Structure 1
Amino acid sequence: MRKISNAVVGVLNSLTLLLSLPVIGAALWLSLRAAASSECGRLLHLPLLAVGAALFVTSLLGLVGSFFRVSGFLWAYLAVLSLVIVAALAFAVMALVVTNRGIGRALSGKGYEEYRLGHYSHWLRRWVHEWKNWKVIASCLKEGKFCRRGSIFAGIMAGLFFRQNLAPMQSGCCKPPKYCKFKNMNNATWTIPDSATASSAPDCLAWSNDLHELCYSCSSCKAGVVAVLRRGWKKLIIANLVLLIVVIVIYSLSCCALSNNRRRRHVTGAHT
């Protein structure tokens, strides 16, 4: 393995170098679209461009260092991999901490659950409460017409709304919370009860029948987003562990490749 480590590292980095090109291309394509000038567009294309550029530079270091036996490039490559390993370990710990709580409250006779921010970790609640973060998320939901996709409003019009299995964000963003006691009418319209039974809770006051607003400003919507993030992070933990193992293997191979470079340099120097 020591003798072929240079070739293996070179091939792996050739593949990742090729992979980085469509990633960069997709980011540039997004930046040229009209949507890229919005908050949601910047949320998508800037991180994608950063990932593609970092992957390209890192792969180039590993490729040159292994195929052309340039030890300086391999040292730089190993330094980057070390940072990746540390970052992956840190992310795994943080992800386990911030996802250790989170539940939805099932409603009797309903096909969905309702979510509250208090059910989640303090870090997630604070992150989603920050205005600059929520501004981008709400912008994406509105631009993508999230609540107008699928069959959620078709179910309302058919009188079958409460039998639907709503996703967390649909439950939190596309309807008022149940405790508001709003009455459902046709075409996604809800009527506010008389003042004697109306709730003064912030989410009830924030609800709007305007399809562009709905409950996008509600805490229940933020809780739905956090519920989805929490589920996504749990999947990322598994992907992160796989990535960590792969990077450690590549790091070990790169160390062997660096050792080969040194041995080759000593043998060359001895012959001269």
Structure 2
Amino acid sequence: MALSNNVIGAINFVAMLLSIPIIGAGIWLATESDNSCVKILQWPVIIVGILILVVALAGFIGGFWRVSWLLIFYLIAMLVLIILLGVLVVFIYMVTINGSGHLAPSRAYLEYRLDDYSGWLKRRVRSSYKWDRIKTCLSSTSMCGELNQSYRSAEDFFNAHITPLQSGCCKPPTECGYTFINPTYWISPINTAADMDCLQWSNEQTQLCYSCDSCKAGLLANLKKEWRRADIILLITLVALIWVYLIGCCAFRNAKTEDLFRRYKQGYT
């Protein structure tokens, strides 16, 4: 039984290590400027990672110090957390399954439309109350100012691979026909009726296209890219956790069998 308990403790130590990439994914999301402005996914990911760490620690202690009730708690709680993590992985995949950039004439960068994205994501940015807070946060970043430092001519800018946020928030939509002066200053639109965003554009550097639907779409496109990366990490960790959990269950069952067999022998003798 001592050997089995040591195996259980070692397995739970591995489970503790597996909580690190989950917590790390949440911290990485929190450090990204767009996610820090929206604050949707990072805290659920971090909380799930911390809970897995705590539960695995309980199993580690229960295995090495033979505390049966801690092992039972570990088996039940870890199963719940694995299911919760699985739901989170599927949820992230489902809300990011739609939405992609669109090619614009004579442009290397893509443009984005809000209607392309899932209803759940759109509800996170459509409310004027929510968007005012997000817009203030985004406008305080240097993402648009960086474009002016990097691209001086129209040709360089049109051939640039800028981020979805920069495409949606820092310039007017291409179909409006604005004339390039610099990446964040455009004049003389040809067709202001092409899109409501054409009327929303402002050369005021604190306004730009932060009130545009294209900016909301660019934000969602950025979130989709980052959430998908985090989701891959969570999926790999989920598979590893399931594998570790099943091994732990087998080790716990073997330990119980050894204990029963030992008691039987003692009673028999």
Q: When the two structures are superposed, what TM-score results if normalisation uses the length of structure 1?
A: 0.74
1:206 deviates by 2.5
Q: 1:151-162 residue pairs with structure 2 within 5 A?
A: 152-159=147-154, 160-162=156-158
Q: CA deviation at 1:183?
A: 2.1
| One-letter amino acid of the counterpart of residue 50, structure 1 | I
**How much does 1:13 deviate?**
4.8
1:115 is displaced (CA, Å) by 0.8
Q: Which residue of 2 aligns with 1:74?
A: 71
What does the per-residue CA deviation read over 1:136-157, in whole Å, with 9 as the maximum and x for residues that have no partner?
54344233322223xx213543
**Counterpart-to-counterpart distance in 1, 2:99 and 2:11:** 42
Q: How much has 1:201 moved relative to structure 2?
A: 4.2
Query: What is the rounded CA distance, in whole Å, between the counterparts of 2:67 and 2:40 in structure 1?
Result: 37
SS at match of 1:185: strand
Instruction: Output aligned runs, 1:110-149, within 5 Å.
Output: 110-131=107-128, 133-135=130-132, 137-149=134-146
| Aligned counterpart for 2:204 among listed residues 203, 210, 213 | 210
Would the aligned equivalents of 2:103 and 2:111 in 1 still touch at CA under 8 Å?
A: yes
Tell me which of 175, 189, 202 is aligned to 1:179. Answer: 175
Check 1:56–1:244 CA distance in 2 against 1; reply closer, same or farther (3 A cut). closer
Q: Say which SS state the counterpart of residue 217 (structure 1) adopts.
A: coil
1:163 to 154, 159, 165: 159
Q: Would the aligned equivalents of 1:157 and 1:188 in 2 still touch at CA under 8 Å?
A: no
State the match for 1:198 in structure 2: 192
Judged with a 3 Å threshold, the aligned counterparts in structure 2 of structure 1 residues 145 and 162 are, in CA distance, closer, same or farther, namely: same
- Count matched residues: 253
Deviation digits for residues 61-93 of structure 1 (CA, Å, limit 9, x no counterpart): 122121112121122222222122222332343
> Which has the larger displacement, 116-125 or 255-264?
255-264
- Aligned residue for 1:33? none
Q: Out of 252, 255, 270, which is 2:249 matched to?
A: 255
2:58–2:70 Cα contact (<8 Å) kept: yes
CA contact (8 A) 2:9 2:62 kept: no
Structure 2: tracts of 5 or more residues without a match: 31-35
Q: Which residue of 2 aligns with 1:228?
A: 222
Mapped partners of 1:128, 1:254: distance in 2: 43
Q: Which residue of 1 aligns with 2:106?
A: 109
Q: Distance in 2 between the 1:163 and 1:116 partners?
A: 20
CA contact (8 A) 1:61 1:73 kept: yes
Q: Distance in 2 between matches of 1:72 and 1:79?
A: 11
The verdict on how the C-alpha distance between 1:256 and 1:69 changes in structure 2, with shifts beyond 3 A counting, is farther
Distance 1:269 1:139 in 2: 68
What amino acid does structure 1 have at the position aligned with 2:177?
K
Q: Partners of 2:136 and 2:7 in 1: how far apart?
A: 48
Q: 1:144 and 1:62, CA in 2 relative to 1: closer, same or farther beyond 3 A? A: farther
Q: Quote the sequence identity (%).
A: 32
Tell whether 2:233 aligns with 1:239: yes
1:219-263 Cα shifts (integer Å, max 9, x gaps): 101111212222334334433331221111121122134335534
User: By how many angstroms is 1:168 displaced?
Assistant: 1.4
Q: Which moved more, 1:87-96 or 1:57-66?
A: 87-96
Extract unaligned runs of 5+ from structure 1. Answer: 31-38
1:19-44 deviation per Cα after TM superposition (whole angstroms, max 9, x unaligned): 59x97xx89xx9xxxxxxxx849779
